[in-house]
A and B are shown apart, each in its own frame.
Chain A
Amino acid sequence: MSVDRADVVVIGAGVSGLSSAYFLAKAGKDVLVVDKGIVGGEASGRNGGMVSERVDEPLLIPLAVEATELWTTLDEELGHPTEFTQEGRLQVAVTEAEMGDLLAERDVALRHGIDVALVEPPEIRDMIPGITERTLGGLFFANGGHANTQLTVQAYAWALQDLGGRLYQNTTVTGLRIVDGRVASVETTAGDFAAEFVIGAAGPQTGLLAELVGANVPVAPARVEILATAPVELRFPIALVGNGLYGHQAVRGNLIFGGGAHEWADVELTASPGKPNTPLIRNIARRLAELLPGMADVPVIRSWAGVVEQAPDYRPIIDILECPSNYVVVTASAHGFGISPATGKVVSELVLHGESSIDIRGLGLDRFSGVGRGWREERGWSPVPQRA
Chain B
Amino acid sequence: MESRPLVVVGAGESGTAAAIEAARAGVQVTLIDENPIPTAMAGLNVPQFFGRRFVSTLGNKAQMLERMTAANDALAEADAAGVEVQLGTCVWGAFRNSDTSRVLEGPQLGLADHERSWLVKYDRLIVATGARDVGVGFAGWNLAGAMGANGAHSLIHHYQALASRRMVVLSTGNLGLRTAEMALDRGIEVAAVVDVSGSARGERALTAALRDKGVKLYTSHTVREAVGRDGEIESVVLVEIDDNCEPVGGTEKEIVADTVCLAIGLAPNVELPSLLGCDLAFDPELGGYVPVHDDWMRTSLEDVFVAGDVAGFHDGMVLDAEIARNQGRLAGVAAAKSLGAIDTPKAVARRNDLKATGTDSKPYDAYSHWRRWLRALLNVGGPDVFACPCEEVTRADLIDLRPPRFLNRQTERTSRPSLKALAKDAPVNPDQVKRLTRAGMGHCQGRLCREQVALLLADASGTDVADMPVMSYRPPVRPLPLRVMWPHDEPDQVRNEWAKWFSPTQQVLG
Interface residues of A (CB under 8 A from B): 38-41, 45, 75, 79-81, 83, 150-151, 154, 158, 161-162, 168-171, 190, 222-224, 229-230, 244, 246, 251-252, 259-266, 273-283, 285-289, 295-304, 307, 310, 314, 334, 380, 383-387
Nearest B residue to A302 via CB reads B474
Contact call B482/A298, Cβ cutoff below 8 A: yes
Interface centre among A40, A168, A282, A298 (most CB of B within 10 A): A282
* Known interface pairs A154-B417, A161-B415, A168-B425; 19 further A-B residue pairs with C-beta atoms within 8 A, sorted by A's residue number: A39-B432, A154-B435, A223-B100, A230-B442, A252-B404, A260-B494, A261-B494, A264-B508, A276-B275, A278-B95, A279-B104, A279-B108, A281-B485, A282-B110, A300-B482, A303-B475, A307-B100, A383-B102, A384-B508
CA distance A40 to B406 in the complex (A): 22
Which of B101, B426, B432, B435 is A278 in contact with, Cβ under 8 Å?
A: B101
CA distance A384 to B509 in the complex (A): 10
Collect the chain A residues with CB atoms within 8 Å of residue B443's CB.
230, 299, 301
CA distance A230 to B442 in the complex (A): 7
Interface centre among B104, B442, B487 (most CB of A within 10 A): B487
CA distance A229 to B483 in the complex (A): 12
Question: How far, in Å, is B416 (CB) from chain A's closest CB?
Answer: 9
Contact call B117/A282, Cβ cutoff below 8 A: yes
Contact call B435/A334, Cβ cutoff below 8 A: no
B119 beta carbon closer than 8 Å to chain A? yes
Collect the chain B residues with CB atoms within 8 Å of residue A75's CB.
409
> How many residues of chain B are within 8 Å of chain A by beta carbon?
68
Which of A261, A263, A296 is B506 in contact with, Cβ under 8 Å?
A: A261
CA distance A287 to B494 in the complex (A): 11
Contact call A303/B474, Cβ cutoff below 8 A: yes
B2 beta carbon closer than 8 Å to chain A? no
Question: How far, in Å, is A221 (CB) from chain B's closest CB?
Answer: 8
- Identify 7 residue pairs between A and B in the complex whose beta-carbon atoms are under 8 Å apart, listed by A's number: A41-B432, A252-B406, A285-B480, A285-B482, A286-B485, A303-B474, A384-B510
Contact call B479/A300, Cβ cutoff below 8 A: yes
Known contacts: A223-B100, A265-B100, A386-B97. The answer to whether A45 contacts B479 by CB under 8 A is no
**Which 8 residue pairs of A and B lie closest in terms of their CB atoms, listed nearest first?**
A299-B479, A150-B435, A285-B485, A170-B426, A289-B482, A296-B483, A265-B100, A282-B487
Known contacts: A158-B417, A229-B482, A265-B100. The answer to whether A334 contacts B501 by CB under 8 A is yes
Question: How far, in Å, is B116 (CB) from chain A's closest CB?
Answer: 10
Nearest A residue to B488 via CB reads A286
Collect the chain B residues with CB atoms within 8 Å of residue A230's CB.
442-443, 479
Contact call A252/B438, Cβ cutoff below 8 A: yes
B407 beta carbon closer than 8 Å to chain A? yes
CA distance A273 to B117 in the complex (A): 29
Collect the chain A residues with CB atoms within 8 Å of residue B102's CB.
263, 383-387
Which of A301, A314, A387 is B504 in contact with, Cβ under 8 Å?
A: A314
Question: How far, in Å, is A82 (CB) from chain B's closest CB?
Answer: 10
Collect the chain B residues with CB atoms within 8 Å of residue A40's CB.
435
Nearest B residue to A254 via CB reads B441
Question: How far, in Å, is A257 (CB) from chain B's closest CB?
Answer: 10
CA distance A41 to B421 in the complex (A): 17
B229 beta carbon closer than 8 Å to chain A? no
B499 beta carbon closer than 8 Å to chain A? yes
Collect the chain A residues with CB atoms within 8 Å of residue B485's CB.
281-282, 285-286, 300
Residues 239-271 of B contacting A (Cβ, < 8 Å) = none
CA distance A384 to B98 in the complex (A): 12
Contact call A251/B407, Cβ cutoff below 8 A: yes
CA distance A276 to B96 in the complex (A): 9
Collect the chain B residues with CB atoms within 8 Å of residue A80's CB.
403, 411, 413, 417
Interface centre among B426, B431, B501 (most CB of A within 10 A): B501
CA distance A230 to B438 in the complex (A): 13
Collect the chain A residues with CB atoms within 8 Å of residue B295's CB.
none
